[in-house]
Amino acid sequence: MSRRRDIRPVEIGVAVMGPMRTGTTLVADLLTVRGKSLVFSEPDLFSAYDRVLCGRMRQLAHDAGLGTPTGNPPAGAWERNIDHFDETFAEALTKLDFWGYKYVNPVGWRRLFHLYRPRKLVLCVRDLRAVTVSALELCNRMRLVFHDGTHRRDEAWVFSRICYTVHEMMAMRALPHMVLRYEDLVSDPATLDRLRDYVGMDELGKDRFNLMIERASRSQWELKKHGNSGEISDKALDRFDREPDGPIRNMAERIWRLLGEYNVAFGYDVPPPAKRIRKHDFSIRVMPDENPIRYGDAETWSWRGPSQLEPAFGRRRARILATRNIGKDAHVLDLGAGSTALRRLLPAETPVTMADNAARSPEFVVADIYGCNLPPAENATIVTAIGVLDYVENVPLFLRQLRAYNLPILLTYYAVDDNVEIDRASYGWKSAMTRSDLMNAFMDAGFIATPRWAFDGRQSAFRLRPRPVAARPKRKPRRKRIAGRGSRPVVKRPKILEPV
């Protein structure tokens, strides 16, 4: 291993910073011109040495005409990525007009700016509602959800990561900078001229060097979506508008309503006062350097998140509970999956069919689940509906369709009894059912329900088993006389099982 070297502060040309899915990789490629300039995408300089990542940086430098070695460097040759970076690229980079880096993970950006001082700072932004939907799609398509069995990159991670990054972006605004809105970047040619002039370039790059060194799961998806002609596409402008009603759209709106200061600072629609989320653990602080979220917490599976109710974190807890109640030989149909999280939590040999109201990756089955149009069960032996029933308006119809599967069901719901103070409409919830309402609805649909009430303090989980259809009686049931009321049949209801 190379001896750890002290890195001396140097001045560089540009830093590109922004939340994920705001066009930062595109901007890095626009600012990269072969033999003239180079902007590295996510070099992760302060992390422990990663030879695969460093190999991608070498490939990028080679493609951009830097004349440095290619291929993955030796295992264990350096202690940190920054040691490899400084030793491999430092001298060659001085021959360019300028170089820089782009990050969507702003952890440690102050230290980074101290060691590699950017003359120009570009802040990439986008409507947070579109960022949220697009970020979850990226996690699914790039298989980032629990990719290493430890980091929980599900809906809760997306929620926390966006909030964390916005806090850091608000602090960066104190530095001289240029704001580059994604919506302008892909639709207004004058924005490109403004970027070129700000950085001081004669022309912008036309190659997608940084995109091409990404994983094939991302680069192929992006090129297929936007085209391979090198032109900038506006096909993703309506990403939020295309998101159907349901928990993911609601999560995107909650983030938008929570981080109103971002909307004001960067010129986006501001939620009306009645819809703003105030006094929240993730709210913007008066002092911009005070980030209420520790980045490491966002990737810790046992982190409960903010003290306020956020369904994204409730889904994570419910999925973990569900996995403990799914047998090893099961084939799962996951309704309203949202992400591939349940598949990643279960053993690799357990087949999971993911269904949702949008194609969050090619493996998803698309169906109007919240409109009570459920997909076929195919080979499933058990069905999960985690965080789904709250967003269904016609609950009796939905439960009847679940019963038609004739399979055991694992289902969750936020009963009114356990959430009296909650404004259900603000979460996009379509119904308000008590514990008693739920048990009666399950019974009426033909289920025997085993509840676990408020297992995390708010949401309840249920195992529903199809109730056997009774044989048609040969005689009418006996009638019991009640004074003043005539007579009515005596019908025994099945005994409700005790909570598990």
* Distance, CA of 206 to CA of 209 (rounded, Å): 9
Closest CA to 433 of 448, 413, 453, 456: 413
CA-to-CA distance for 50 and 44, rounded, in angstroms? 9
User: pLDDT of 218-265, one tens digit each?
Assistant: 555 566 665 555 578 888 899 999 999 999 999 999 999 999 999 999
Residues 373-402: pLDDT tens digits? 999 999 999 999 999 999 999 999 999 999
**pLDDT at res. 122:** 98
Of all residues in the chain, the percent with pLDDT exceeding 70 is 88
Compute the distance between CA of residue 452 and CA of residue 413 in angstroms, rounded to an integer: 11
pLDDT digits (tens, 9 = 90+) for 178-191: 999 999 999 999 99
What distance in Å separates the CA atoms of residue 163 and residue 152, rounded to the nearest whole number? 16
Closest CA to 442 of 419, 480, 475, 409: 409
Burial class (CB in 10 A: 0-12, 13-18, 19+), 52: exposed
- pLDDT value for 484: 44
Contact 14, 120 (CB under 8 A): yes
pLDDT interval class at 147 (50, 70, 90): low
pLDDT classification of 299: cutoffs 50, 70, 90: confident
- Under DSSP, the state recorded for 334 is E
- pLDDT confidence of residue 5: 55
Report d(CA 302, CA 478) in Å as an integer.
55
Q: How far apart are CA 298 and CA 157, in angstroms?
A: 6
Neighbours of 317 (CB within 10 A): 22
pLDDT mean across residues, the chain? 90
Q: 243 near 253, Cβ under 8 Å?
A: no
Here the tokens at position 200 are 């001081």
> Would you place residue 216 in the very low, low, confident or very high pLDDT band (cuts 50, 70, 90)?
low
